Amino acid sequence: MKLWGGRFTKPTNQLVEEYTASISFDQQMWRQDIVGSLAHVAMLGKCGILPMDEVKQIIAGLKKVKEKIERGQVTFQVAHEDVHMNIEKLLIEEIGPIGGKLHTGRSRNDQVALDMHLYLREKMLELIQLAAYLQNALLDQAANNLDTVMPGYTHLQRAQPVLFGYHLMAYVSMLQRDMERLQDAWKRVNVLPLGAGALAGTTFPIDREFVAELLQFDGVYLNSMDAVSDRDFIVEFLSAASLLMAHLSRLCEELVMWSSQEFSFIELDDAFCTGSSIMPQKKNPDVAELVRGKTGRVYGNLIGILTVLKGLPLAYNKDMQEDKEGMFDTVATLHGALALLTPMIETMQVNKQRMRQAVAEDFSNATDLADYLVTKNLPFRQAHEVVGRAVLYCIEQKKYLLDLSLEEFQRFSPLIDADVYQALDADTVVNARKAMGGTAREQVEKQITAYRGFLEQTKSWINQTSQKVSIESLVDVGSPV
Ligand code: ARG
CATH of the domain at 386: 1.10.40.30
Secondary structure of residue 22 in the 3-state scheme = coil
Domain boundary residue, one of 374, 393, 423: 423
CATH of the domain at 322: 1.20.200.10
Looking at the fold, whether 342 and 400 belong to one and the same domain comes out as: no
- Please give the Cα distance from 400 to 68 (Å, whole number): 74
Looking at the fold, whether 174 and 77 belong to one and the same domain comes out as: no
Contact by Cβ (8 Å): 127, 335: yes
Expressed in angstroms and rounded, the spacing between residue 316 Cα and the centre of ligand 1 is: 8
In a domain, 37, yes or no: yes
Domain boundary residue, one of 357, 376, 397: 357
Name the residue of 112, 115, 116 whose CB sits within 8 Å of the most ligand 1 atoms, as the mutation to test its pocket: 112
Q: Which long-range contacts (CB under 8 A, 24 or more apart) does 407-416 make?
A: 412/386, 412/387, 413/373, 413/378, 413/386, 415/373, 415/376, 415/377, 415/378, 416/372, 416/373
Which of these, 189, 193, 190, lies nearest to 237 by C-alpha position? Answer: 189
Name the residue of 27, 82, 312, 320 whose CB sits within 8 Å of the most ligand 1 atoms, as the mutation to test its pocket: 82
Domain boundary residue, one of 104, 126, 144: 104
- Please give the Cα distance from 364 to 272 (Å, whole number): 33
Which residues are known catalytic residues? 155, 276
Helix (H) or strand (E) holding 146: none
- Please give the Cα distance from 429 to 369 (Å, whole number): 10
Atom of ligand 1 nearest to the CA of 316: 10
Looking at the fold, whether 193 and 263 belong to one and the same domain comes out as: yes
Atom of ligand 1 nearest to the CA of 81: 1
Question: Ligand 1: which residues within 6 Å by Cβ?
Answer: 22, 26, 82, 108-109, 112, 316, 318, 320-321
The predicted pLDDT at position 469 comes to: 86
Atom of ligand 1 nearest to the CA of 320: 12
In a domain, 298, yes or no: yes
Looking at the fold, whether 117 and 250 belong to one and the same domain comes out as: yes
How confident is the model over 107-166, as pLDDT tens digits?
Answer: 999 999 999 999 999 999 999 999 999 999 999 999 999 999 999 999 999 999 999 999
Other CB atoms closer than 10 Å to residue 408's CB: what's the count? Answer: 16
Expressed in angstroms and rounded, the spacing between residue 3 Cα and the centre of ligand 1 is: 13
Q: Which residues are CB-contacts of 314 (< 8 A; sequence separation ≥ 6)?
A: 199, 225, 229
What separation, in Å, do the N-terminal and C-terminal C-alpha atoms of the chain show?
Answer: 32
Q: How many domains does the chain have?
A: 3
Residue closest by Cα to atom 11 of ligand 1: 318
In a domain, 476, yes or no: no
The predicted pLDDT at position 465 comes to: 96
Q: Which residues are CB-contacts of 182 (< 8 A; sequence separation ≥ 6)?
A: 124, 127, 128, 131, 237, 240, 244
Other CB atoms closer than 10 Å to residue 71's CB: what's the count? Answer: 8
The predicted pLDDT at position 196 comes to: 98
In a domain, 237, yes or no: yes
The predicted pLDDT at position 207 comes to: 98
In a domain, 39, yes or no: yes
Looking at the fold, whether 93 and 135 belong to one and the same domain comes out as: no
Residue closest by Cα to atom 4 of ligand 1: 321
Expressed in angstroms and rounded, the spacing between residue 109 Cα and the centre of ligand 1 is: 6
Q: How many helices (H) and strands (E) does the chain have?
A: 20, 6
Looking at the fold, whether 329 and 181 belong to one and the same domain comes out as: yes
Atom of ligand 1 nearest to the CA of 198: 10
Which of these, 57, 30, 59, 27, lies nearest to 42 by C-alpha position? Answer: 59
Looking at the fold, whether 28 and 134 belong to one and the same domain comes out as: no
Domain containing 319 equals 109-153+162-200+218-357
State the DSSP string of 169-200: HHHHHHHHHHHHHHHHHHHHHSEE-TT-TTTT
Residue closest by Cα to atom 2 of ligand 1: 321
In a domain, 93, yes or no: yes
Expressed in angstroms and rounded, the spacing between residue 377 Cα and the centre of ligand 1 is: 73
Expressed in angstroms and rounded, the spacing between residue 66 Cα and the centre of ligand 1 is: 21
In a domain, 415, yes or no: yes
Q: Which residues are CB-contacts of 66 (< 8 A; sequence separation ≥ 6)?
A: 31, 34, 475
Residue closest by Cα to atom 12 of ligand 1: 321
Name the residue of 4, 78, 225, 316 whose CB sits within 8 Å of the most ligand 1 atoms, as the mutation to test its pocket: 316
- Count how many Cα atoms sit within 13 Å of the Cα of residue 242 in the half-sphere of its side chain: 18
* CA torsion, ordered 222, 225, 231, 236, to nearest 10 deg: -30
Contact by Cβ (8 Å): 118, 35: yes
- CA-to-CA separations, 258 to 152, 251, 309, 355, in angstroms, rounded: 12, 10, 41, 10
Expressed in angstroms and rounded, the spacing between residue 110 Cα and the centre of ligand 1 is: 9
Atom of ligand 1 nearest to the CA of 321: 12
**Going along 259-346, which residue ranges are E strands?**
266-267
CATH of the domain at 48: 1.10.275.10
Expressed in angstroms and rounded, the spacing between residue 48 Cα and the centre of ligand 1 is: 28
Looking at the fold, whether 340 and 370 belong to one and the same domain comes out as: no
Looking at the fold, whether 276 and 180 belong to one and the same domain comes out as: yes
Which of these, 51, 222, 183, lies nearest to 460 by C-alpha position? Answer: 183
- Count how many Cα atoms sit within 13 Å of the Cα of residue 321 in the half-sphere of its side chain: 17
The predicted pLDDT at position 63 comes to: 97
Atom of ligand 1 nearest to the CA of 83: 1
Atom of ligand 1 nearest to the CA of 324: 4
Can you list the residues of the chain whose pLDDT is less than 70? 478, 480-481
Name the residue of 2, 318, 319 whose CB sits within 8 Å of the most ligand 1 atoms, as the mutation to test its pocket: 318
Expressed in angstroms and rounded, the spacing between residue 117 Cα and the centre of ligand 1 is: 15
Looking at the fold, whether 350 and 375 belong to one and the same domain comes out as: no
The predicted pLDDT at position 480 comes to: 58
Buried b (16+ CB within 10 A) or exposed e, 427-466: eebbbebeeeebbbbebbeebbeebeebbeebeebbeebe
Contact by Cβ (8 Å): 335, 129: no
Q: Which residues pair with 160 in a beta bridge?
A: 152
- Please give the Cα distance from 479 to 215 (Å, whole number): 13
- Please give the Cα distance from 56 to 66 (Å, whole number): 15
In angstroms, how far apart are the furthest CA atoms of the chain? 101
Looking at the fold, whether 129 and 180 belong to one and the same domain comes out as: yes
Q: Which residues are CB-contacts of 83 (< 8 A; sequence separation ≥ 6)?
A: 22, 23, 26, 27, 29, 30, 33, 76, 115
In a domain, 213, yes or no: no
